A and B are shown apart, each in its own frame.
Chain A
Amino acid sequence: MSDSLNYAYYPGCSGTGTSIEYDMSTRAICAKLGITLNEIPDWSCCGSTPAHTVDHTLSSALSARNLALVEKMNLSTAITPCPSCLTNLKTATHRMGKDEFRDDVNKLLDTPYNGGVDTKSVLQIIVEDMGLDALKSKVVKPLKGLKVAAYYGCIMNRPPEVMNFDDPEHPMAMDNILTALGATVLPFPLKVECCGASFGIPRKDIVMSLSGKLLDAAQDIGATALVTACPLCQMNLDLRQDQINSANGAKHNIPVFYYTQLIGLALGLDEKELGIDKLCVSPRKVINDIGAEDAS
Chain B
Amino acid sequence: MQAPAHTRALIEIDKLNLYYGTFHALKNVSMEIPEKAITAFIGPSGCGKSTLLRTLNRMNDMIAGTRIEGKIAIGGADIYSKEVDVETLRKKVGMVFQQPNPFPKSIYDNVAYGPRLHGISGRKQLDEIVETSLRSAALWEEVKDYLKRSALSLSGGQQQRLCIARALAVEPDVLLMDEATSALDPISTLKIEELAQELKDRYTIVMVTHNMHQAARVSNQTVFFLNGEVVEYAETEKLFSTPRDQRTEDYISGRFG
A in complex with B: no
- Which residues of chain A have a CB within 8 Å of any CB of chain B? none
- Which residues of chain B have a CB within 8 Å of any CB of chain A? none
